[in-house]
Chain A
Amino acid sequence: NAGVTQTPKFRILKIGQSMTLQCAQDMNHNYMYWYRQDPGMGLKLIYYSVGAGITDKGEVPNGYNVSRSTTEDFPLRLELAAPSQTSVYFCASSYSPVYEQYFGPGTRLTVT
């Protein structure tokens, strides 16, 4: 099992550019999540999904978009990147809402 994988590991974007952060899991989890982590801060939930075709907003969804067409994949789309989106992004998955969330290794994004 690879667990939760994320690509890319690092990315530098110019203001106004767009990109997609990829996330995949091979544990057949229905629940998947996207978080951002700013320096010295906890994790903030951006979007989450309870199954293929179902997504919902978290605490900080503005400037992001998601889709979930398969159980395995949960990509995060950034449109019109802004410096405020400079952060480390983590994807996670879980079997159930109140069980362990498995995190990927993260994507470090810088917007300049």
Chain B
Amino acid sequence: GENVEQHPSTLSVQEGDSAVIKCTYSDSASNYFPWYKQELGKGPQLIIDIRSNVGEKKDQRIAVTLNKTAKHFSLHITETQPEDSAVYFCAASGDQGGKLIFGQGTELSVKP
């Protein structure tokens, strides 16, 4: 079955710097790659997603890139702000049943 590895597990940056989180997946049939943000005490919330027919997608300060050949995808956050501090999860899905397999999470801390 699908396996998703996420790195790093913790990331600390200064406000205004960029942050990059990387994920690799094992199932070449996976075709949907969402990123979720989880704030303390809350459920995860989708921030951006990408499908296998697209190499890059951007939404304001957030971008995601996908390399299907290497089976990895990355989240890029530019001009980080303290409110970006949270746990970020990548996920992959290729199953028609909609089973998302999540990475282990990255705790991002943005220091003012």
Chain A residues packing against B (C-beta within 8 Å): 4, 31, 33, 40-45, 48, 50, 56, 58-59, 90, 92, 94, 96-98, 100-101, 103-106
Contact = CB atoms under 8 A, between A and B. Distances in A.
Interface residues of B, number: 28
B25 interface: no
B98 A103 contact: no
B46 A31 contact: no
30 contacts: A31-B98, A33-B98, A33-B100, A40-B9, A40-B105, A41-B105, A42-B4, A42-B6, A42-B104, A43-B89, A45-B99, A45-B100, A45-B101, A48-B97, A48-B99, A50-B97, A50-B98, A56-B97, A59-B1, A59-B101, A90-B44, A94-B98, A96-B98, A98-B32, A98-B93, A98-B98, A100-B49, A103-B43, A103-B44, A104-B43
Classify the interface of chain B: helix, strand, loop or mixed.
Answer: loop
Contacts of A101: 34, 46, 100
Given A40-B105, A43-B102, A103 B45 contact: yes
